[in-house]
Each structure stands twice: as C-alpha cells, then as structure tokens.
A and B are shown apart, each in its own frame.
Chain A
Amino acid sequence: MTSPLEQKKIRITGPSMVTANRTWDGAVVYRTAKQGWSTELSDSAIVTTSDEARALLAEATADDVGAVGPYIAPVELKDGGKVKPGNLREHIRAKGVTIDLQVPA
C-alpha cells in the first residue's frame, strides 16, 4: 500500500476514482461526476485513462474548500456496476478500521 502521499506521476492501469478528506470533519469523500463530493464510493466518478484521471484530479484539487488532499486510487468494478475499493488502504478508508474499536473493559 504505497502511500498516495508518494504519488508523483499520474498513470493508471485500471478503473480509478479520486478521493480526499472533507475539510470540515475529515470524513472520507469521493469526487462525483457532478463535480461534487460524496461519502459513498458508489457515487464516485470512475475514470479509465490517465488523461481522464489527470482531469478529474485537477478539478477536485481546485475545490480546496470542500476537501483536502485529493488523490487517485484504484477501484474494482464488479458485475452489475458495483464499485469496490481497489486496495486495502481504500478498503479501510471506505469500511473503517479492521479491528474491533471497543477496548476490552
């Protein structure tokens, strides 16, 4: 899971989306096709070429008030058009931590 903070060149090899954290609360958000942000991965705009990815990222980056630190991340497209996170990092961001949050008491 190379950190997206180290993402230098934009080159995608499969379906991807742009994700960031919402400015006011830090929540995980996804760039939508309507030039907005959604907390649902299923609402994200999916790009399949590097040029599309660059354009989507540029547009998302321009919205500095809405969200922080946008970057491109892979997704998997399942049968029926369902969108799944493309790696463990994005799975954790979408679904939450992989551990039981409740500290045993």
Chain B
Amino acid sequence: MYAYDELDRTLINERVSEFRDQVKRRLSGELTEDEFKILRLQNGVYLQLHAYMFRVAIPYGTLSSKQLRRLAHVARRYDRGYGHFTTRQNIQFNWIKLAELPDALSDLAEVGIHAMQTSGNNMRNVTSDQWAGVAPGEIEDPRIWSELIRQHTTLHPEFSFLPRKFKIAITAAEHDRAAIKIHDIGLRLHKNADGETGFEVLVGGGLGRTPFIAKTIKPFVSGRDILSYIEAILRVYNQYGRRDNIYKARIKILVHELGIEKFAKEVEEEWKAMGDVGLTLDHAAIEEVRSRFSYPAYEKLPHMPDELKQAAHDPLFERWRKNSVSAHKVQGYSIVTLSLKPVGGPPGDATAEQMDAVADLADKYSFGEIRVGHEQNLALPHVAKRDLPPLFKALDRLGLATPNVNLVTDIIACPGLDYCSLANARSIPIAQELTRRFANHDTADLIGRLHINISGCINACGHHHVGHIGILGVEKNGEEFYQITIGGRADENAQLGTLIGPAVPYAEVADVIEDIVEAYLALRDRPEELFVDTVKRLGVEPIRERVYATR
C-alpha cells in the first residue's frame, strides 16, 4: 500500500472544496454548462444517457480494504448500490446526482481517493500490473514509478491541457498484464547490461477509430531520467500534436505521420535541449516514494500446506484453484483473482455488498489489500496458501469464484448503449448471452485461454481491437450490428485483430462466436494451442470459411 503524505491529503481536500463551489455555481446558473464542462471533467464527471457518471481513480490498481469499503459506501449512499470497474483501473458510478457529487468526493477524500486524472485532455491515471510487487520474476515494483509519474503530472500545466487525453502504463514483469502497447506511452522496466534499472519506452499505442500498437522509441532510459524523458515526449506532442481535429489529436497520429524514427529524433533533440530542468530523480527522491509503499510481514510458510492437500479432493475447489490462483513471489503465498464475470452478469460490476465483503476478506486473508486489473477483475495479492480453502468458500457464496479467469467467459466489455452517450450499440447483453452459451466450465476449460472484448462504438473502451475475438457494435439503418475481428492480443506480443467477415445483427452475434470457437477447436493442431496462436498459424481465412460458408 502507498501512504499519502500531508501534501497529497491537502491537495485532495482542496480539490473537493473547489469542486463544491463549482457545482454550487453551476446549479445557481452562475456557470454555464460550457464553462462547467471542463471543470467537471477534471473531476471525473461525465454526462451519460441516464445520469451523470462519476469515474474514480484507483492509481496503479491498488486499494486498501478501507478504501474499498468507502467505494461501497458511495455506491450505496449516492448511487444504485453497485459500481463498474473499468479497463483502466478506475471505478465508475452510473447514477450519481450532480448535487450530491461534492459530498461523494468528500467521503472518498477521507480515505485518500479522488477523481483527478480520470477524464479530460490531460495525463490520465497511470496504470500498472495488478500483480505489481508480488509477481514472481518482476524486476521491481512498477508502482513506485507509477507514483513518481503521478506526482509529477498531477495538475502540472504541461500535462493538463494537452491536445487530447494521454495514457501511460507500466509493467515490470515478463508477461505484460498492463497492456502497455496500447497506451500513448508504454514503459517496460528492465535492467541494462550494467545491471541498472530503467525503461524501454514505447510511444504511440492506442485504439479508438485509428488503432496502433506502440513502437519502441528508446530501448533504455535510466530510471533517474524517466521524468525528463516523458516531459520531452510531451513537449514534442504539445508542439506538433494537432488540436484542430479531435480524431487526429492523439499522439499515435503524430507518431504515425512523422514516423517513429523522426519522432524519436525530435524527442531526443528536445530532451538534450532541455538540459537539466530539475527533473533528474536522485536516489533519495526514488527511495522516498519507495519507502511510502508498505509490504506485508510475510510468514515463513511451507510451499504445500496440509490444508491445500486436503482441499484438493474437492473438485470445485481444485477447478477454481487451477484457474484463479497464481504463483506469488513469496513461498507459501498466492495471488487470487476474483472474477467479476459471473454467468449472466454484467462484466466488471460489483455490488456494494460484494465490495464490503471483499474488503472483509482482504482484511482476513490478504493484509487488507485489493488489486484491480484492466481485465475488470479484482485480486487479493497476498493470500497464504493454507487460507485458500476457506477463501474459496467465502468467494463462492459471494458469486466471486467463477472459475473463468482468462477463459471465454472472462469478457471485457464497455458499458455500451445501456449507459454510454457515445455508444452505437449495446455491449453488456452480448457479453451476458455469451457467458450463458459458454457457461459449462468443462467446455470453457477445453477451449482454453480466449479473450473476448466488446465495445459499443469505435471509441473502443472495451479494447475490441486487441481481443482474441473482438466485437464492435455499429449502427446500420437504426439497427445494432456487430463487426467481429479475430487474432488480436494485448500482451507483450500485442497486435490488432483482423476482420473476419460482414457485420452481423444483434441476434446472431452469439451464434457467430460459437461458430468461430467451433472452427478453432476443429483447426487447432493440439489442445495446448491457444485460439490466438491458431489464428496466427493459419490466418483468418480457414476460420472465415467455416463460419461464413453457410451465412
């Protein structure tokens, strides 16, 4: 956990007072909506179909049990009793009243939560691996660097009025769980030949209507130089990025138009020209932030406790353990993923009761800490293996032990037309129907790892471009249709999916997805070959032929 200092607390509290005054002036008519819009967006407040939507930051996906309980309180007191975890380590409340928002923000500020950097054309919430600090083989905890960047960019004028929103993600593990290649800047922590810790810097990733995978701009930037290097990137973006066309304003467009070599040269020249602007991180500055992260006092525990051996006789427990429990860097401990994808449920939603219960379980079994991943699931990062059996029973009672993590029903979906004012088509009902079609866990296990991503419009909040199967809702003559892509992936081998055929109407989507999965099962060369690897080996055509032959 990261402990905020007095400066952080003052900043958050002042922001609440400021926003309370702004809301008061808006409701009295002193501020017009045009004047108010940028102010509310700076506090995570959007206007959606039915109400205001309030997006709250969960920096680098780390929550304390106290903070999660407070989110449950906000869901219960100010909303309709639930919240929606997003693909960028935020939580959204869908039914909140503007007049009550200052009180909600105030309640959150008491536990160090805010909504800064969750909307607007600024530096957004810096995201990271939800297993940060506990993943085996990690270079070091990437959240330290996320926090350093957060501190530097929050309310910084250089980063507050950008041509468009700007997103950074950091990973320090071999397997990229933070989807860094679809971010404006992706940072991969690694060590150079001299053993120094630094970053591979990637730039220009992003989805939306013009998707790109980020490209490496510099293979190694020392940790002490990362702030100045990011600033150099942002200066080049601020100088050359387009502000005349919202669809061409993201840095990915600039990188694409300039070319990565030219863009890299511009950044390098800017970086050198900047000289020493006081952004070099000395050892003390890094250690100061590092020291504010606390880690559990782990016990010395056996690798395989008796409790786990006994529980292995329970097939339900064993299925869940194999699916949702992952290796921890400390012997005797595990990382447990809590699926927010129950069969028939809206992906990523959690009720206030579930949030409270997870907070209690975190206190009991995970040193009071919870993580939020971009896949819209939660995790308990420090669970002793001996506690896995009782934890499973508790999660099962809460509907949070669906053994489908990384399987076909672990669907990432945006809110879609049920909530979103930008959407052209619904996402959630498609996801719900698919979870019913693939509800049989034996079938899901047989299929293996398969990520389905659904977006209700081209803005791609459901990251459909990088789904193994991507589903994009479009509108045709007033009807919902869905384009389907296959072969995308969001990990260290990120790539965009390929369109498999003509868009299909709402009622046919689940049938087509079933046919695609059937085709994969028939075409894969062995059970271990993942869907995305079969597509890579064979291309789209063999699957297209099987799926569309009779359509």
Residues in A with CB closer than 8 Å to B429 are 98-99
Q: Is the CB of A24 within 8 A of B99?
A: yes
The 8 A CB mask of B78-117 against A (1 = contact, 0 = none) is 0010100000000000001111000000000000000000
| Contact residues of B between 344 and 384, Cβ < 8 Å to A | 344-346, 349-351, 353-354
Residues in B with CB closer than 8 Å to A96 are 50
Q: Is the CB of A103 within 8 A of B51?
A: no
| Contact residues of B between 25 and 84, Cβ < 8 Å to A | 26-29, 32-33, 47-52, 80, 82
Residues in B with CB closer than 8 Å to A92 are 49, 417-418
The 8 A CB mask of A89-100 against B (1 = contact, 0 = none) is 100110011111
In angstroms, Cα B48 to Cα A4, docked, is 12
Residues in A with CB closer than 8 Å to B422 are 3, 5
| Contact residues of A between 19 and 67, Cβ < 8 Å to B | 21, 23-28, 64-65
In angstroms, Cα B345 to Cα A59, docked, is 42
Q: Is the CB of A105 within 8 A of B398?
A: yes
Query: From residue A3, how far is it (CB to closest CB) to chain B in Å?
Result: 5
Residues in B with CB closer than 8 Å to A100 are 344
The 8 A CB mask of A1-22 against B (1 = contact, 0 = none) is 1111100000000000000010
Q: Is the CB of B424 within 8 A of A64?
A: no
> Residue of B at shortest CB range from A66?
B29
Residues in B with CB closer than 8 Å to A88 are 417, 478, 480
Q: Is the CB of A2 within 8 A of B47?
A: no
Q: Is the CB of A93 within 8 A of B50?
A: yes
Q: Is the CB of A3 within 8 A of B423?
A: yes
> Residue of A at shortest CB range from B95?
A26
B421: CB under 8 A from chain A?
yes
A104-B26 CB under 8 A given contacts A25-B97, A68-B33: no
In the complex, how many residues of chain A place their beta carbon closer than 8 angstroms to a beta carbon of chain B?
31
| Contact residues of B between 419 and 440, Cβ < 8 Å to A | 419, 421-426, 428-429, 432
A1-B478 CB under 8 A given contacts A23-B26, A98-B418, A99-B432: yes
A1-B424 CB under 8 A given contacts A93-B50, A104-B399: yes
In angstroms, Cα B26 to Cα A32, docked, is 23
Q: Is the CB of A89 within 8 A of B50?
A: no
Residues in B with CB closer than 8 Å to A4 are 421
Residues in A with CB closer than 8 Å to B417 are 1, 88-89, 92
> Residue of B at shortest CB range from A24?
B99
Residues in B with CB closer than 8 Å to A93 are 49-50
Residues in A with CB closer than 8 Å to B419 are 97
Query: From residue B124, how far is it (CB to closest CB) to chain A in Å?
Result: 21
B138: CB under 8 A from chain A?
no
Residues in A with CB closer than 8 Å to B350 are 103
B342: CB under 8 A from chain A?
yes
Residues in B with CB closer than 8 Å to A98 are 418, 426, 429
> Residue of B at shortest CB range from A61?
B33
In angstroms, Cα B398 to Cα A80, docked, is 48
In angstroms, Cα B343 to Cα A86, docked, is 32
> Residue of A at shortest CB range from B28?
A65
> Residue of B at shortest CB range from A67?
B33
Residues in A with CB closer than 8 Å to B354 are 103, 105
A23-B475 CB under 8 A given contacts A97-B418, A104-B342: no
Q: Is the CB of B353 within 8 A of A28?
A: no
Query: From residue B236, how far is it (CB to closest CB) to chain A in Å?
Result: 31
In angstroms, Cα B353 to Cα A93, docked, is 27
Query: From residue A103, how far is it (CB to closest CB) to chain B in Å?
Result: 5
In angstroms, Cα B499 to Cα A54, docked, is 40
Out of B29, B32, B97, name the residue touching A26 (CB < 8 Å): B97
Q: Is the CB of B98 within 8 A of A26?
A: yes
Q: Is the CB of B421 within 8 A of A3?
A: yes
In angstroms, Cα B480 to Cα A97, docked, is 15
A25-B47 CB under 8 A given contacts A88-B417, A99-B432: no
Residues in B with CB closer than 8 Å to A25 are 51-52, 97-99
In angstroms, Cα B417 to Cα A64, docked, is 25
Q: Is the CB of B47 within 8 A of A69?
A: yes
Q: Is the CB of A28 within 8 A of B342?
A: no
Q: Is the CB of B49 within 8 A of A105?
A: no
Residues in A with CB closer than 8 Å to B424 are 1-3
Residues in B with CB closer than 8 Å to A26 are 47-48, 50-52, 96-98
> Residue of B at shortest CB range from A87?
B478
In angstroms, Cα B345 to Cα A105, docked, is 10
Out of B51, B351, B428, name the residue touching A99 (CB < 8 Å): B428
A24-B82 CB under 8 A given contacts A64-B29, A98-B418: no
In angstroms, Cα B354 to Cα A81, docked, is 45
Contacts A25-B51, A104-B343 aside, 12 further interface pairs with beta carbons under 8 A come to: A1-B475, A23-B33, A64-B33, A92-B418, A97-B428, A98-B418, A98-B426, A99-B429, A101-B80, A103-B342, A103-B351, A104-B342
8 A-B residue pairs with Cβ-Cβ distance under 8 Å, sorted by A, are A1-B417, A26-B96, A68-B33, A88-B478, A89-B49, A97-B419, A98-B426, A104-B342
- A residues touching B (Cβ–Cβ < 8 Å)? 1-5, 21, 23-28, 64-65, 68-69, 87-89, 92-93, 96-105
Query: Can you list the 7 inter-chain pairs with the closest CB atoms, starting with the nearest?
Result: A26-B51, A25-B97, A97-B418, A65-B29, A26-B52, A24-B99, A105-B399
